Every structure is written in C-alpha cells, then in structure tokens.
Amino acid sequence: MAAAVEDEPTRRDFLVVASGAFVAVGGAAAMWPLIDQMNPDASSQALAAIEVDLAPIAPGQAITVLWRGKPVFIRRRTPAEIKQARQTPLEDLRDPYARNPELPPDAPATDANRTKKGHEEWLVLIGICTHLGCIPKGQNIGDKKGDYNGWFCPCHGSHYDTAGRIRKGPAPRNLDLPPYNFTSETMIKIG
Amino acid sequence: MVHHESSYQPGTAIERWLDQRLPIIRMAADFAAFPTPRNLNYWWTFGGILTFCLAVQIITGIVLAMHYQPNDALAFDSVERIMRDVNWGWLIRYTHAVGASMFFLAAYIHIFRGLYYGSYKAPRELVWILGVMLFLVMIMTAFMGYSLPWGQMSYWAVTVITNLFSSLDSIIDGLGTAIVQWIWGGYSVTGVTLTRLYSLHYLLPFVIAAIVVLHIWAFHITGNNNPTGLDVRQESDTVPFHPYYTIKDGFALALFTLLFAWFVFYAPNYLGHPDNYIRANPLQTPPHIVPEWYFLPFYAILRAIPNKLFGVIAMFASILVLFIVPWLDTSRVRSTKYRPIYKWFFWLFVATCLGLGYLGSKPPEGAYLVWARICTFWYFFHFFVVLPVVGLIEKPKPMPASITESVLGSSEGAAGERGGGGTPEPGGATACPEKR
Ligand code: HEM
Ligand code: FES
C-alpha cells in the first residue's frame, strides 16, 4: 500500500468522524429524558407545608404526622429526657453533626442545635432510620425505646437517644430534622 | 473442543425448501444430536430443570398479569381477588410464588455443581460468567416480584433494599440519596415505585431468556464439562443429547416437579412470610423483617458488618466475586473428584453458605452475630485464599485416561458396551458421523 503518502486525513475521514460523533452525542442526549423521567415528578415535588397543633400533647407523649410522604416524630420531652440529652458529652456521639437544615452542615450535634430556642421540650424529627429506612420504635406507649431511651430501630438494631442521635448500631447518622417553625406557642409549620 | 458438524439430512421436499431458506429444522436436529459426554450424572440435570422453571414463571406470570393491578391502592386487593375469585387463581399464584423458590433451589444446586466440577475453568469462562449474570438478573426479578403483592414484607423489603444505595452518600455526598429518589420516583417508596417495579418485573424474565440462549450457545461451542473434568477426545466419549439426556433430564424433572407440587398443594405459604398478608403500611415497620430464604446468606453478610457502607460493599462483593472465580482457581485439574485437599474445603464452603443462610434468619445479636462474622470471613477467605493457594500446593489424584475409560475401565470404548446394560452402542458413529 502506498499508505505513507495518503496519511493526510481526507474529506471522507472527516465525514466518518463527524457523523460518528453526531450519532454518539445524539444518542446520549436521547438517553437523558429516558433516565430523568424516573426522577420525582412535578406533583411529588410540590411539597405542601403542614401545620401541626401541639396543644393536645402532654409531656412524655409523642405523635407521628406525615409530611412529604415521610413520618415526622414530634415528642414532648420530660425534664429527665431533656437533662439526659443535654448532659451527654459530645465525644460520646457517633455522628458529631446536628443534621439541622437550618444550621450550617458542620454545626455540632448538641441538644440545643437539635431543638428550637425557648421550645427545648419539643423534639421534631424525620422518623426514618438513617441505616436502611425503617421506622424506629419509641413513639407509642410500651414500645421498646432502646438503650438510650429514645428510639430503637428493630430492623438491624440501631439505638437513638432522647435527642434522636445515633448511639449504637449500624445507622451512620443522627435522625434528620425537617425544616420547621413555631407559628405560635402551640403551633408548628413543617416545610 | 468438540466441533460439531451438522449431520442433518432433509428428508422431504418441504424440508429441503426450508433448509435453503431458514435452516430451523437443521438447528433443532443438531441440538438433538449434540455430542454430550456419556458420563454426566444427575447434577447435570439442573440446567434443564432451570429452563423448565423459567418457562413456568413466564407462563404463570403472564396469567397473573391479566388480573393483577400495579397500583398501590389496588394491588393488595387484586392479589386477594386472584386468590379467592379468579378461576384457578390460587393455583396460578401459588405456582408462581413457590416457583420462584424452586427456581432458586435449582440455581443454587447448579452453581455448586459448577464449583465442584470446575465447570468455570478454561475454556468455559464465558459460560460461567453468563451464568453469574443470569443469577444476578434472577435476583433482581425475584426482588421486584416480591414487591408486587404490596404487603408489609413487600413494602419494607423494597424500602430496605433500595436504601442500600444511600450508602453511596458516604463516598460522594448526595449521590446515594439522588439514586434512591430516582429509583423511588419520590421521597419515599410509593405507588409510583410499585408501578415501575411491575414494569421491570415483566421485562426482566425475557432478558433472562435471552441470556439463557447465549449461555447454551457458549457451552455448545466448548462442549459440556463432565464429572471427570476431562476433555472429550474420541467418539466413544460422547452420546447424542437425544434420547440419552432428554430422558435422563426428563426423569429428574419428574422428581423435581413432585417436590414442586408438594409445596404448591401442601405448604404453599411455608416458604413465605405471614406478614405479607398484611397490607403495606408506610408508617409501621414489622418487628422482624427478613427476606425470602434464597436471599438469607447475603442478608447475613450485610448485617455481619457494623458499618453501613462496608456492609453493602461486602454483600455485593459476595455475589460479584463469582465472576472472577475462573481466575482465582489455580488448579490444573477441573474436577474436585481428583483434588484430595480442595475436596474438604469445598464442603466446608457449602457448610459456610448454609450457615450464613441460617444466621440470616436470626436477629443479628450475641452468638448469632459472632458466627455470622466468622462465616462471612470464611466466605471471602475461601475465594481469595483457599482457591488460589490449594490449587498450587495440592497433588491431584491419578485420573483416568479418558471419559470412556472412566465409564468402562478401558479406553478401547469405541465398539464397547454400555456399562451394565449389555446393549451394543447404537452407533455413536451413525448418530454423530462427523467425528471420524
Ligand atoms: C424469572 C422469572 C420470575 C420470577 C423469579 C418471579 C418471581 C416472583 C415473585 C417472588 C413474586 C411474588 C409472589 C408472591 O409472594 O405473591 C411474583 C409476583 C408476580 N409476578 Fe413474577 N416472577 C417471574 C416472572 C414473571 C413474569 C414473566 C411475569 C409477567 C409476565 C410475572 C408477573 C408477576 C405478577 C403479576 C405478580 C404479582 C402477583 C403475585 O404476587 O402473586 N412474573 N413474581
Ligand atoms: S434500618 Fe434501622 S437499623 Fe437498619
């Protein structure tokens, strides 16, 4: 072959590369709608905020409400539970971060950072175990609350304390807080 | 390698006409005449049994799909309607549900058969890899199918298993959550999730069927392995697939269907979990969630490791490691029959897998957890240390000179007799005249 002289790219080479590239890019672009259609759609993204009346909840009681399809735990803690949470040294925590969307991501997991100032009685948490998504026990009277008196996840044995922080078991993170605000002394708005 | 030339002679004008256009009869005839080692034992019948299982799942599945409603408000009731109102619905559904278990039972036997006789070794690496792919797609299919009745176990199994991907958050923040929400189509498992699992549950068995075709094609190029692990060297080492192995496979299949039918008619719910007859409740996790029995060993490995990410990695690795077994095993000898040291390790490995299955059904605490960790360790030790090292240090036992000799005691088998029967070989030569 007299290849050496013909090493210059020809018009045909250019067309082959250009059309090949066009097909590849077009194919990749066509994939995106097929993949993205599976993401949460407009209706599930339109997240309604909910209001919850806290008046009927007595100290030591807890209720579960549904927000964005997720259970939200609202517990009115007893003074003993608050004390237990506040006295825990931060070095004892498995996850050092507060996981509070209203604070910077590196805010430490103190009890103060996981509650609202002036409303320390109230703990509001997303009730989904950070291990593999089960709903921990501890909301109902008679539930097993785990070694730290908060919540216990029966699926693979994660124990949370009275500030919803992970203390023992496979879960990697403290229970997340939802964004919420007190609209009056006894009303909160979640979302 | 048994290169197998066609011996098909079109007999009629129609067959000749067809043969020049679409040689489909030739394909079937060659399949029937395929020269198969004469010494295959009953462990080799599970390939045919698996094909039967796939057919049963597809047929019963298509019928179920005529009555099932893939919608979170209707799914649970539609399954109860199938059970109570649809003519023969109970039979079809129990056959499908028990069928999934029987499918896995057969697959596990088939896989251990391959491990024992070294069927993954050259030149059958691709046969083995396609087999591991089949196993993976089967796992996905069964997982998605189990979600469809939308009972408590369905719902929480989907939640826990899809959440496995959230462990990726600890590598790239937000990646795991993004993947999980993409799978869910929302911020938790909902009816949107159910509908897509249904769509894929319908699709994947046909993907399995396609891979089965490749799997069979691949071992028709290399030829079957056999209990001695020796290569086929001469005409007398083989018999035509039909009628020898169609009959043998058929007999084994008859016994297998007896077991299958026993479960369907006498213990249809024995292999399932009663909580799945409770409607899915996104606000309450059942006290003990356990997967179906066929996933228990992997579940035990997941829970044996106290770190979320590494638990998930170990679980996936325990399946994916099968892909590289052909290169982990250093032995020159295929069949464990001739491997005096490895033989013990093989059975220890079987015991480890059974142990993991048992431990996966127990709560992960106390002695159960300790044992689960020991077994998990040994599971990986077997693949990464035992397989490579034993192959190097072991002295294999003497082997017969040929497959024929292993059956007849002498290699001059070409005109010899079938062991015991005394009927002369009905012309291995006539059946496969190509090998002269
Ligand atoms: C590899 C083959 C297959 C496997 C391993 C498999 C496995 C399963 C499993 C474990 C269930 C749950 C059974 C229960 O507890 O109720 C199920 C349900 C179902 N499957 Fe399949 N399946 C397969 C093929 C198919 C095919 C091909 C179709 C449709 C064409 C199908 C349609 C259905 C339907 C509609 C249900 C829901 C009804 C029910 O729960 O009984 N399956 N499948
Ligand atoms: S999901 Fe809670 S411990 Fe695993």
Query: Can you give the pLDDT of all 191 residues of chain A as single tens digits?
Result: 445 556 788 999 999 999 999 999 999 999 999 999 999 988 877 767 889 999 999 999 999 998 888 899 999 999 999 999 999 999 999 999 999 999 999 999 999 999 999 999 999 999 999 999 999 999 988 888 999 999 999 888 899 999 999 999 889 999 999 999 999 989 999 98
DSSP letter assigned to residue B186: S
Cα(B148) to ligand 2 centroid in Å equals 23
Q: Is A66 on the interface with B (CB under 8 A)?
A: yes
pLDDT in tens, B7-50: 999 999 999 999 999 999 999 999 999 999 999 999 999 999 99
Q: How far is the CA of B201 from the centre of ligand 1 (A)?
A: 7
**Using a 6 Å cutoff on CB, does residue B155 contact ligand 1?**
no
Same domain for A144 and A62: yes
The pLDDT of residue A49 is 84
The answer to the question of residue A58 being in a domain is: yes
Residue A19 contacts B where some CB pair is shorter than 8 Å: no
Q: Mean pLDDT over residues B275-291, rounded?
A: 92
CB contact under 8 A, A41 and B160: no
> Residues B105, B108, B110, CA angle at the centre, nearest 5°?
110
Choose the closest CB to A156 out of B184, B190, B364.
B364
Tell me the ipTM for this assembly. 0.84
How many residues does the structure list for chain A? 191
Q: Are residues A34 and A73 in the same domain?
A: no
Domains of chain B plus CATH, in order, are: 13-392 (1.20.810.10), 398-436 (no CATH)
Inter-residue contact B223 to B432 (CB < 8 Å): no
- Which letter, b or e, does each residue of B193-216 get, where b requires 16 or more Cβ atoms within 10 Å of its Cβ? bbebbbeebbebbeebeebbeebe
* A177/B contact by beta carbon, under 8 A: no
**A80 found inside a domain:** yes
Q: What pLDDT does B421 receive? A: 37
Q: For residue B142, give every residue at least 6 positions away whose Cβ sits within 8 Å of its Cβ, in sequence order, or none.
A: B100, B103, B104, B292, B294
Tell me if A156 sits within 8 A of B315, measured CB to CB.
no
Task: Check whether residue A29 and residue A55 sit in a common domain.
Answer: no
What was the pLDDT predicted at B412?
57
Residue partners of B219: CB distance under 8 A and separation at least 6:
B124, B127
Beta strands (DSSP E) in B3-57 are 35-37
Residue B425 reports pLDDT greater than 70: no
- List the structure tokens of A62: 């807890």
**Residues A141, A116 share a domain:** yes
Dihedral sign (CA A12, A14, A17, A22): negative
Residue of the CA atom closest to atom 11 of ligand 1: B145
Tell me, yes or no, whether A73 and A102 share the same domain. yes
Ligand 1 within 6 A of B55 CB?
no
Determine, yes or no, domain membership for A3.
no
Length of chain B: 436
Helix (H) or strand (E) segment spanning residue A181: strand A180-184
Domain assignment of residue A181, yes or no = yes
In contact, B139 and B295? CB cutoff 8 Å: yes
Distance in Å, alpha carbon of A115 to nearest chain B alpha carbon: 23
Looking from the CA of A97 toward its CB, the CA atoms found within 13 Å total 13
Residue whose C-alpha is closest to residue B118's, from B216, B208, B50, B43:
B43
Pick the residue whose CA is nearest to atom 3 on ligand 2: A156
For ligand 1, say whether the CB of B68 is within 6 Å of any of its atoms. Answer: yes
Residues of A serving a catalytic function are: 156
- The token duo for B365 is 């605490």
Tell me if A82 is assigned to some domain: yes
CA dihedral of residues B280, B282, B285, B286 (deg, nearest 10): -10
For residue A69, the chain B residues in CB contact (below 8 A) are 186-188, 190, 282
Closest approach of chain A CAs to the CA of B405, in angstroms?
Answer: 55
Ligand 2 geometric centre to CA of A150 (Å): 15
Residue A16 is part of which domain span? 11-40
Same domain, A111 and A153: yes
Report the candidate in A98, A120, A122 with the shortest Cα–Cα distance to residue A108: A98
What's the CA-to-centroid distance between A44 and ligand 1, angstroms? Answer: 28
DSSP string, B257-324: HHHHHHHHHH-TTTTS-GGGGSB--TT---SS----GGGHHHHHHHHHSSSHHHHHHHHHHHHHGGGG
Q: What residues of chain A lie within 8 A of the CB of B289, using their CB? A: 134, 154-155
Q: Peptide bond before B243: cis, by omega within 30 degrees of 0?
A: yes
Count other C-beta atoms under 10 Å from residue B50's C-beta: 22
Whether residues A53 and A33 share a domain: the answer is no
The pLDDT tens digits for B362-385 are 988 889 999 999 999 999 999 999
Do the domain assignments include residue A179?
A: yes
Pocket residue to mutate for ligand 2, from A94, A129, A160, A176, most atoms within 8 A of Cβ: A129
B364 min Cα distance to partner chain A (Å): 7
Residue keyed to tokens 């829970």: B303
Q: Which chain B residues are within 8 Å of A132, Cβ to Cβ?
A: 159-161, 163-164, 166, 308
- CATH number, domain of A159, equals 2.102.10.10
Q: Does the beta carbon of A154 lie inside 6 Å of ligand 2?
A: no
Give me the percent of chain A exceeding a pLDDT of 90.
77
Residue of A nearest to B310 (CA): A170
Tell me the count of A-B CB pairs closer than 8 A.
80
Q: What is the pLDDT of residue B428?
A: 37
Average pLDDT value for residue range B305-329: 95
Distance CA A22, CA A15 (A): 10
What chain B residue is nearest to A139 in terms of C-alpha separation? Answer: B284
Yes or no, beta carbons of A132 and B164 under 8 Å apart: yes
Q: Is the domain of A49 the same as that of A130?
A: yes
Contact status, residue A41 vs residue A28, Cβ threshold 8 Å: no
A121 and A164 inside one domain: yes
Cα distances (angstroms) measured from residue B195 to each of A69, B75, B137, B145: 17, 10, 19, 11
pTM of the model: 0.90
Q: Are B299 and B290 in contact (CB under 8 A)?
A: yes
pLDDT for position A6: 63
pLDDT (average), residues B225-252? 96
Over its C-alpha atoms, chain B yields an Rg (Å, rounded) of 24
In a domain, A112, yes or no: yes
pLDDT of residue B4: 66
DSSP three-state, residue B178: helix
Beta-carbon contacts of A166 under 8 Å, excluding residues fewer than 6 positions away, are A93, A94, A95, A130, A158, A159, A160, A172, A173, A174, A175
| Nearest residue in B to A45, CA atom | B186
- pLDDT-derived band at B288 (thresholds 50, 70, 90) equals confident
Whether residue A171 sits in one domain with residue A107: yes
Domains held by chain A: number: 2
Say if residue A26 is in the same domain as residue A70. Answer: no
A6 within some domain: no
Shared-domain flag, residues A17 and A110 = no
Sheet holding A158-160, edge to edge: A151-153, A158-160, A166-168
Among B163, B179, B290, B359, pick the best mutation site for testing chain A contact (most A Cβ within 10 A): B163
